[in-house]
Chain A
């Protein structure tokens, strides 16, 4: 993995496993310790401890001047982040659900993303927005969306997302240290996933993809929770002698095109997997880059696997079938290999 080396001694940390929510909390806590201008702001981040418990215990530790509970006011939360960042603070602003970013869209898109550029490079916005996203929770159409494509379309924003607790911590720490606006999307279904996180300091750089599994026959390019579906599919197909490479892009913008192309030039086949609505989703950008830059290396069209063209339905059988699962990934890989399009 392309990360900086952990500083803790291998013996004490080799097996430490924590939840993704804890990994994110550690990232925030460590950066707050490192830099007194870092503060957290959002709805229910303090007394409640965050809707997904990411900021649990931080109010008790840091007090209300650095863990700032707000009323329900997403436009204000986005704007509080901008104003504080412009004037010397380093805010970590949380949207309780990424769906609510719609309310804050002007502040994010017309203000945060553009200030520096419009002001001729004179403004600096060391600002991180965090937002849970993704489906599978039974919370219906207004609490389950994957809206990352909205934001990667806006120059001035960086967009990242993690599939493991290790990456989550390292990416969020990098985001907080960035002098740019970074939006970190956190998939709700994997907050409670455990994974290895070493004790001590490390960063995962923004803009660097990670090959989560090496393989020779097909590349699955993906991110966030879908990485796990890709890994499961790879495991299943390995039993049949099919070798799948899984690339977790981790960063949507900037996109590590080199790692993607290196993989595709090796396997000659690509399946792009994402949980957002397939039509017009970020996977289209990845697929397009692959065919533009590696057309001659391809033995099959680049396939996209994404969600249905519908809001996320409530009822369990509908919801589960509305976005990609492992079986659909397996199917797409087979299609790519067999040339059944």
Chain B
């Protein structure tokens, strides 16, 4: 799988086992966690879309549906105290880092009980206590911030690792170059995870990036990998290796995770820059379905496990919406609050 300096030996080099032995190394609890997180992301967003279409929320919603394996596989390999920086398409990162869906939903609804008290909305959910340093409305902006978090960890010797999630559209930004180069020169405990979902708005990743993003690892003298981002096992194994490496003080890694957003750029996007066939092909490689198939084939978990998880998610989702809808709107006296520490 790795086309440059490989970080993982768990390449998809063949064999019948869809997970190349990664699945076998995971406990039942880990498998349940993975399934639960991927399904939570999907159901959260499907529900948010319904609410948006019913005019219950406004603004820009960027759906992660189809890309769940990347956030989930990477966060499965992180420790609780580790950090991430996220993007405008951040719901998946939030949920995979342990965010509560009720507080997320309330934020999308613009209510006081939301993660940001309604001040941030979908594009700015952060939970510093969980190590989520924030979704971001500025493409590429999370990359130098992740480098900074990793520098802080190095200086404080807290043993933590920071993952920067960013899109293929961030590859062309100056922030990418500056952030990754600095991390490499300082040998920081950072992992740069490019979610290459093929497009930034209508612009194809190959149009925007002069050469494949994972090639750039060599330019910065750091390991890099190009992986199937819809294969949760490959994502997990690659991320784990990179995160362990960072934690050992061996410096950053660049991972390009190839995936696809099933939906438009935002909830309002109806443009025609992708073919129906292309979308159908990627949907047929749905990361959740592939996970379930692999687990079933390996005769791990059983139908009850999946059903129990799904059932709980539906309850949580119902609660999240009810909670959001019942929550109060913020009042104008808070507008100038929290601009500074008082």
Q: Which residues of A contact B (CB under 8 A)?
A: 43-44, 47-48, 69, 71-73, 75-76, 99-100, 103, 137-143, 308-311, 313-318, 321-322
Contacts and interface: CB of A to CB of B under 8 A. Distances in A.
A318 B172 contact: no
B207 to A, nearest CB: 7
Given A71-B208, A73-B173, A310 B273 contact: no
B246 interface: no
A313 B119 CA distance: 5
A316 B110 contact: yes
A139 B138 CA distance: 12
Contact of A138 (B58, B116, B174, B336): B58
Interface string B313-333: 000000000000000011110
Contacts of A43: 201, 203
Contact of B329 (A47, A140, A315): A315
Contact of B59 (A44, A76, A138, A321): A138
B335 interface: yes
Closest 5 CB pairs between A and B?
A: A314-B121, A315-B118, A315-B110, A71-B172, A142-B137
A100 B336 contact: no
Size bracket, chain B contacts: 35 or more
B202 A315 contact: no
Interface in B72-121: 110-111, 116-121
B118 A313 contact: yes
Contacts of B59: 137-140, 314
Interface of B: 58-60, 110-111, 116-121, 123-124, 136-140, 169-175, 200-203, 207-209, 271, 273, 329-332, 334-336, 339
Nearest to A311: B339
A141 B117 CA distance: 14
B72 to A, nearest CB: 26
A140 B137 CA distance: 9
Contacts of A309: 336, 339
Nearest to A69: B203
A75 B335 CA distance: 32
Nearest to B109: A315
Nearest to A317: B329
A318 B273 contact: no
Contacts of A310: 335-336, 339
B49 to A, nearest CB: 16
B335 A314 contact: no
15 contacts: A48-B273, A71-B169, A72-B203, A72-B208, A75-B174, A76-B172, A142-B123, A142-B138, A143-B60, A309-B336, A310-B336, A313-B118, A315-B329, A318-B110, A322-B335
A141 B137 contact: yes
A43, A72, A138: most-surrounded residue (chain B CB, <10 A): A72
A316 B330 CA distance: 9
B209 to A, nearest CB: 7
A109 to B, nearest CB: 16
A314 B120 contact: yes
B273 A140 contact: no
Contacts of A137: 59
A317 B330 contact: yes
Given A310-B335, A317-B332, 13 more contacts: A48-B273, A71-B207, A72-B140, A73-B172, A137-B59, A139-B121, A142-B123, A142-B136, A313-B330, A315-B111, A315-B118, A318-B332, A318-B335
Given A71-B203, A71-B209, A309-B339, A315 B174 contact: no
Contacts of B271: 47-48
A44 B203 contact: yes
Contacts of A317: 110, 329-332
Nearest to B174: A75
B117 to A, nearest CB: 8
A215 B332 CA distance: 33
A140 B121 CA distance: 7
A140 B119 CA distance: 7
A47 B111 CA distance: 36
B336 A308 contact: yes
A47 B336 CA distance: 40
